Structure 1
Amino acid sequence: MVVYVLRRLVQSFFVLLAVSLVVFVAVYAVGDPIELLVSAEATEADRQQMIARLGLDLPLWQQYAGFAVRALHGDLGTSFVHGIPAIELIVQRIPATFELVLVAIGLTCLLGISLGLVAGLYHDRALGRSLMGGSVLGFSLPNFWQGMMLILLFAVWLHWLPAAGRGETVEVFGIPFSLFTRDGWAHVLLPAVNLALANIALVLRLTATGVMEAKTQEYVRFARAKGVSERRILTRHILRNILIPVVTVIGLEFGQLLAFSTITETVFAWPGMGKLLIDSIYKLDRPVIVAYVMLVTFIFVMVNLLVDLLYAVLDPRVQLQEASA
């Protein structure tokens, strides 16, 4: 187990190195941030001074080498626009995005697995067919249009929930959280639902398919023949055996939502990492963009590692061999 984890961590380092190189070169090739940072009235001397101060006068390979050396010491650069370390700027936005994703994943687990069990158990009835058919909408509706419809219905027409912002926050250990206030919950519900709908549909269909397949297995028939209660068969034999693919999807979606909640955060003006990324792209704030992608890659790598380790807990048949990973 220890050797496996160490091997994965070494692999993760090289993945981060490759991603940093690709992103750094790609961001360098898109636009010139000096055009946005220097006013039109500035002199050529002021312009050249700004270029030198930001290190943009160096060749690309020297810029990347300097970035890589600083990154090894935890410095991912300083924002061109805000003048503070890029990682500090991103960390300030993490609590808002984490709260949004946490509520979205909670809704995904609660509704996706529950409705999937119902759809799988009653797949030959109208209820099961309706759930499976309705889940198609979760994949079909564009995320931005879906968000605007939620705002139109619940904020504009019904006046039940606010349309934008994070709401009232409470500081815990110096970190602002909105989930500890009623106003915060009112603000997080609409963007969380918008973020969760596609994943609810995915988990619903995955769970239902697993239940339909598991119901026909010999171990379920044998347990039923022994007189085991249907509730125990469902929780002990069916649900536990279908959780591995479900946990895989939920784990990957958690990392994906943390990284790519940009559309939802933009539509609902949610002050998280995704909105920061969009603003940084508009302003060509290269250090923030590179730092964001590096952080997102690290999150994906760690989530994948945790999912692999969780396999062994859910299914004793899954072993993490030290000889082959």
Structure 2
Amino acid sequence: MSVYMLRRLLQAVAVVFAMSLIVFVGVYAIGDPVEILISPDADQIERERAIAALGLDLPLWEQYFVFLSKALQGDLGRSFVFNEPALRLILQRMPATLELAFGATIMALVIGLPLGLYAGLRPDSPVSRTIMAGSILGFSLPTFWVGLMLIMVFAVQLGWLPSTGRGPTREFLGMQWSFLTWDGLRHLLLPAINLSLFKISLVIRLTRAGVRETILMDFVKFARAKGLSPNRVIFVHVFKNILIPVVTVVGLELGSTIAFSVVTESVFAWPGMGKLIIDSINVLDRPVIVAYLMIIVMMFIIINLVVDLTYSVLDPRVRLEAKGT
């Protein structure tokens, strides 16, 4: 297992290096922040002084090596707009985005697993057909439209939940979290539902497909022939096996949930990393954009590693293969 972990870490380092080059060149080759950040009334001397202060007077390759050397020291650049370290700006917003993404993922599992399990065990019932039809809507409806409908129904017409903002927070592990307060939890509910709809549909379909495939396997037939109770067969033999693909896909989807929570954060004015990156793109705040993309890359790598380790816990064959290599 140690050799397997070492190989994965070396692969992660190579991926981070390659992505840093792609992200840096891609972001710095598009647009000119000087036209936005510097007043058009400034004379040529002031413009050149500002360009030199931002480090934009250097060739692209030299800017990249300056960025890389500082990144190895934990410095991902300084925001052009806020004049603060880009990493600090993102870390200040990260708890809000993580809270939203984990809330949506937990909601997807809590709702999707039971519905998918029922639809797989009773595929021909009217309830199962309704569940599968609803999952199609979850895939099809655009996120921004669903968010606006949720606000109109539950915030404007019914007045049950707040429409925007994060609400009051409470400190835990050195960070501020809104789910620890009742009003903060009410603020979290609507954006989490909006962000989880696609994931709920995905979990339902994965679970149903896994159940339909697993109940036909020999070990399930043998368990039934031994006289085990239906609940034990379902929750011990069937459910544990279908968790393997579900955990893999949901784990990978967690990274995309964090990365693509931009729409939900914009609709609900949720003060997370997504809203920060939209504001930074509007003013071409390159250090913040690059730092955000690199942090997302790191999150994907860490999540993939955690998913692989979880996979090895659920499936002993993965551990045996890792020992064999």
- Normalised-by-shorter TM-score class: over 0.9
| Structure 2 counterparts to residues 203-242 of structure 1, below 5 A | 203-242=203-242
TM-score where L is the length of structure 1: 0.97
Q: Which amino acid aligns with 2:322?
A: Q
> How far 1:137 moved relative to its partner?
0.3
TM-fit CA distance, 1:322: 5.2
1:323 offset after TM fit, Å?
5.7
Q: Does residue 110 in structure 1 map to residue 88 in structure 2?
A: no
Distance 1:317 1:229 in 2: 27
**How far apart, in 1, do the equivalents of 2:226 and 2:313 lie?**
27
Letter paired with 1:285: D
Equivalence for 2:322 = 321
2:48 equivalent in structure 1:
48
Q: What CA distance in whole angstroms lies between the structure 1 residues aligned with 2:289 and 2:3?
A: 34
* Alignment of 1:131 onto 2:131: yes
Q: Where does residue 73 of structure 1 map in the other structure?
A: 73
- Give CA-to-partner distance per residue, 1:268-310, whole Å, 9 cap, x none: 0000011111111111000111111111001101111111111
Give the % identical residues: 56
Q: Which runs of 5+ in 1 are unaligned?
A: none
* Separation in 1, partners of 2:53, 2:129: 63
Give the CA deviation at 1:41: 2.0
Q: How many residues are treated as equivalent by the alignment? A: 324
Partner Cα separation in structure 2 for residue 296 and residue 95 of structure 1: 14
What is the DSSP-based 3-state SS (H/G/I as helix, E as strand, rest coil) of the residue aligned with 2:236?
A: helix
Deviations 1:101-128 (A, max 9, x none): 1111110110011110011111021111
Aligned-residue offset at 1:172: 2.8
Q: Which amino acid aligns with 1:296?
A: I
Q: Which residue matches 1:198?
A: 198
Matches of 1:178 and 1:197 in 2, distance apart? Answer: 21
Give the TM-score, by structure 2 length: 0.97
Distance (Å, rounded) in 2 between the aligned partners of 1:296 and 1:99: 15
Aligned to 1:144: 144
**CA offset digits 1:231-273 (Å, max 9, x no partner):** 1101110000111100011101111111221000001000001
User: Which whole-Å CA distance do the structure 2 matches of 1:163 and 1:45 have between them?
Assistant: 48
Residues 238 and 10 (structure 1 numbering): CA distance in 2 closer, same or farther, change over 3 Å?
same
More off after superposition, 22-31 vs 187-196: 22-31
Q: How does 1:248-267 map to 2 (within 5 A)?
A: 248-267=248-267
1:300 partner SS: helix
- Does the residue aligned with 1:183 lie in a helix, a strand or coil? helix
Q: Please, which moves more after superposition, 140-149 or 315-324?
A: 315-324
**Shift in Å, 1:228:** 0.2
Alpha-carbon separation, structure 2, partners of 1:80 and 1:230: 62
Q: Which runs of 5+ in 2 are unaligned?
A: none
Counterpart CA distance in 2 for 1:206 and 1:171 is 36
